[in-house]
Amino acid sequence: MDFFHWYEDGELRTTFEWPADRTGSTPDALNAVMRELGLNPTGDEDPEVDRKAAVLALTERLTGVRVTEALLREAAYRTGEVPEEPAAGR
């Protein structure tokens, strides 16, 4: 599962797993940009379009941050583990 979530000022504006199945407070606000990037908000997807790459391009457009090899190589990554069971004594 690959979900896209667009928040603006703490508000979930648009979210989707499949471009045609959007929800949020403004689910259609990104339709024009999605079409430019090859994501079809009406449901007929082009099999030639790499959907993950298109969603990444959508993210770049919204944030203004270009994801480059150097950015990924030089970034500091933080990870954490969420246990399936609550800690003992809680």
Task: Compute the chain's Rg from CA coordinates.
Answer: 17
Which residue carries 């949020």 as its tokens?
A: 24
Q: What percent of the chain shows pLDDT beyond 70? A: 97
Q: What residue spans define the domains of the chain?
A: 4-74
Which stretch of DSSP H or E encloses residue 62? helix 51-63
Please give the single-letter amino acid code of residue 4: F
**What pLDDT is attached to residue 90?**
61
Alpha-carbon span 41 to 20, nearest angstrom: 4
Q: What angle do CA 85, 88, 89 make, to 5 degrees?
A: 130
Per-residue pLDDT reduced to its tens digit, 2-35: 799 999 999 999 999 989 999 999 999 999 999 9
Per-residue pLDDT reduced to its tens digit, 44-53: 888 899 988 9
Residues 6+ apart with CB under 8 A from 1: 17
Position 1 pLDDT exceeds 60: no
**What pLDDT is attached to residue 88?**
73
